Amino acid sequence: MVIPKRVFDALKLRAGDYVEVSAEGGRLQMRPKRLVDIGEASLSASEAVQVRRGEAEIKAGRSQSWRTVKDELGR
């Protein structure tokens, strides 16, 4: 896909970057996406709290498999 230079610059893209493209109301919307190596990943304080809560839920046995919940989500 060729992205016009002014859009490319406005999104602060670099050659090879990933973008998410969605269609809504007859218009395209583009959002830059970044891939992060696991070694470079860092969480914000609130994200770290969410991860710790999730890990505690799993340890306590209060989790369900994707197969179990996907139908409830309509997927």
| 1-35 is a CATH 1.10.12 domain | no
The whole-number pLDDT of residue 38 equals 66
pLDDT tens track of the chain, all 75 residues? 889 999 999 988 988 889 999 998 999 998 898 777 666 677 788 888 898 998 999 999 988 888 888 887 775
Please write down the HEC assignment for all residues of the chain: CCCCHHHHHHCCCCCCCEEEEEEECCEEEEEEECCCCHHHCCCCHHHHHHHHHHHHHHHCCCCCCHHHHCCCCCC
Q: Mind listing the pLDDT tens digit for each residue in 49-69? A: 898 998 999 999 988 888 888
For residue 2, the model assigns a pLDDT of: 87
